[in-house]
Amino acid sequence: MKIGIDKMSFYTPAFYVDMVELAEAREIDPNKFTIGIGQDQMGFAPLSQDAVTMGANAALNLLTPEDIAAIDLVIFASESGIDHSKAGAVYIHRLLGLPKHARAIEFKEACYAATAGLSYAQNHVAAHPDKKALVIGSDIARYGLSTPGEPTQGAGAVAMLVTANPRCLAFNNDNVYMTEDIMDFWRPLYSETAVVQGKYSTEQYVHFFEEMWATYTEKTRLSLADFEALCFHLPYTKMGKKALDTIITTVDEEKQAELLNYYQLSTKYSRQIGNIYTGSLYLGLMSLLEHQTTLTEGSRLGLFSYGSGAVAEFFSATLVEGFANQLYTAAHTEQLAQRKRLSIPEYEELFKATLPTDGSDYSIDEKLDQAPIKLVGMKEHMRLYTAK
111 is catalytic: yes
332 is catalytic: no
Q: Angle formed by the axes of helices 237-244 and 253-266, to 10°?
A: 160
DSSP state of 251: S
CA 124 remoteness from chain centre: 22
How far is 373 from 214, CA to CA, in rounded Å? 43
CA 239 remoteness from chain centre: 15
124 is catalytic: no
How far is 20 from 86, CA to CA, in rounded Å? 39
Q: Are strands 373-379 and 362-363 parallel, antiparallel or unpaired?
A: antiparallel
The number of beta carbons lying within 10 Å of the beta carbon of residue 169 is 24
3-state secondary structure of 172: coil
Query: CA angle 318-202-241, nearest 5°?
Result: 45
CB 20 within 8 A of CB 32: no
CB 163 within 8 A of CB 130: no
Q: Tell me how far apart the terminal alpha carbons of the chain are, to the nearest angstrom.
A: 38
Q: From the candidates 150, 233, 290, 332, which is the catalytic residue?
A: 233
Q: From the candidates 93, 106, 111, 231, which is the catalytic residue?
A: 111
Catalytic residues: 79, 111, 233
